[in-house]
Each structure stands twice: as structure tokens, then as C-alpha cells.
Amino acid sequence: METAKNYKTLSELEDKYFGKPGTPEREEYETELSMEILDVQHPQIILCDESQSENQDRN
């Protein structure tokens, strides 16, 4: 006897574990994921925080 498989889409899993799009938890997850993807694709990119940018603007 064959059992039915219960497959979930990536979107369904993201909604379950990180909340619906637009929620703070989902936004944080998507931001961190984007940063990871950038780091893997372009490891030479160095992102600086606002305080470093302000110091460079003053010089």
C-alpha cells in the first residue's frame, strides 16, 4: 500500500517558520538571506555601517 507524501513549497515553509511577508520576522529572514547570497556570489564586497559611511563623507 502506497502512502501519500505531504510536500510543502518553499513559500509555505517560509510562512510557517518566518511568518507571512511583511512581518518583522520575515523581513529579518529575507534581509539575512539576501546578505548570505551576496556574500557567496561576491565575497569581495564589504558592506559598511552608517557610521563608517558618515566618517568617509567627512574626510
Cβ–Cβ under 8 Å, residues 52 and 58: no
Distance from C-alpha of 15 to C-alpha of 32, rounded to nearest angstrom: 16
Residue 26 lies in a domain: yes
Phi, psi for 53 (deg, rounded to 5): -65, -40
pLDDT of residue 49: 58
Residue 2 lies in a domain: no
Residue 3 lies in a domain: no
How many domains is the chain partitioned into structurally?
Answer: 1
Q: How many residues does the chain have?
A: 59
Q: What is the pLDDT of residues 2-57, one digit of tens each?
A: 667 889 999 999 999 999 999 999 999 999 999 888 877 777 766 665 555 555 55
pLDDT of residue 31: 94
pLDDT of residue 48: 62
Cβ–Cβ under 8 Å, residues 14 and 26: yes
Residue 21 lies in a domain: yes
Domain of residue 40, residue span: 10-58
Torsion angle defined by CA atoms of residues 4, 10, 13 and 19, in that order, rounded to the nearest 10 degrees: -150
